[in-house]
Amino acid sequence: MTAARTLHAQLHLLDRQVVRADDARMVSKADDLELDYDRDGRLYVSALLTGPLALGPRIGGVIGRLMVAVTTLLRPEEDPAPRRIPMRLVTDIGSALKVGGDPAEAALERWTRVHLIAPLPGSGAPAHDDEPPPDRQHRGAMRVSELLGRTVTDAEGRVVGQVADVRLSQDGHLLGPAANALRVSGLVVVPRNTGQLFGYERGPGGAGPWLVRVVVRRLHRGSRHVTWDQVESFAPSPEIRLRVPASELADLRELYSTLPST
């Protein structure tokens, strides 16, 4: 039996360009990922979220709040939401995320086209507004950015580290004729204040210069892999609590030295 493909939200999905599968024309950028529960109560990636209303809350701080405030002011809806691209439209995950079908036009781009570009003589932009009805079903859905950066404590209350990435296994329920959902299967937990990983710490097979990989893995020698089954709770507490002591967690370097590269 073929092993399920393993990806990481931060390393393989976030900030990747989203392009059309038929002509490689850019659609947007993956600013966040929407999470939902399947029938078995397992978290999976249900959609790509794009635009300032997705990126602003993710980066936080003054800049993030300003992005949200300005976008909300310009959007015509009473309660605007991020642009949502269902994962069933994603046909390939590589250096870019390819989507099939006809993803809906971003609301801010649609408003700009109708109200600013279309009135200009010779613009050629359609002046009508085929705005889809607001998608209320997914408002308030959990985002993967809500897990990143969270403090992790073990069953004994000791701090293990913070979440640097979310591990995804493509073995969830079928989203389309031949595409399985990306299920949340674990967390990459690193010592606090150790900086970005960029994938260098994930075993000897990681990409990048040999010396850089060695130095980064040395700095992250306390990194751990937490399976989702080892998570006791992650809400409403700001901490992610585990049901096992830290001594039972797998060393991240050992885990990735035994996995094939993705």
Question: Which tens digits make up the pLDDT trace of 235-254?
Answer: 777 899 999 999 999 987 76
Question: How does the average pLDDT of the chain come out, rounded?
Answer: 80
What tens digit of pLDDT does each residue of 135-180 get? 545 555 899 999 999 999 999 999 999 999 999 999 988 886 667 8
- Domains with residue ranges and CATH for the chain: 6-117 (2.30.30.240), 147-257 (2.30.30.240)
Q: Which range (4-18, 81-95, 125-139) has the least confidence?
A: 125-139
- Comparing CA positions, the residue from 50, 121, 61, 48 lying closest to residue 88 is 48
Q: Give me the pLDDT at residue 142, please.
A: 92
What tens digit of pLDDT does each residue of 33-69 get? 999 999 888 999 999 999 999 999 999 999 999 999 9
Q: Give me the pLDDT at residue 12, please.
A: 92
The 3-class secondary structure across the chain, one letter per residue, is: CCCCCEEEHHHHHCCCEEEECCCCCEEEECCEEEEEECCCCCEEEEEEEECHHHHHHHHCHHHHHHHHHHHHHHCCCCCCCCEEEEHHHEEEECCCEEECCCCCCCHHHHHHHHHHHCCCCCCCCCCCCCCCCCCCCCCCCEEHHHCCCCEEECCCCCEEEEEEEEEEECCCCECCCCCECCEEEEEEEECCCCCCCCCCCCCCCCCCCHHHHHHHHHHCCCCEEEEHHHEEECCCCCCEEECCCHHHCEEHHHHHHCCCCC
What tens digit of pLDDT does each residue of 90-143 get? 999 999 999 987 666 554 455 555 555 656 666 554 555 554 444 545 555 899
Q: What is the pTM of this model?
A: 0.79
Q: Which range (189-193, 196-200, 235-239) has the least confidence?
A: 196-200
pLDDT band of 14, cuts 50, 70, 90: very high
- Comparing CA positions, the residue from 6, 49, 33 lying closest to residue 180 is 6
Cβ atoms of residues 52 and 45 within 8 Å: no
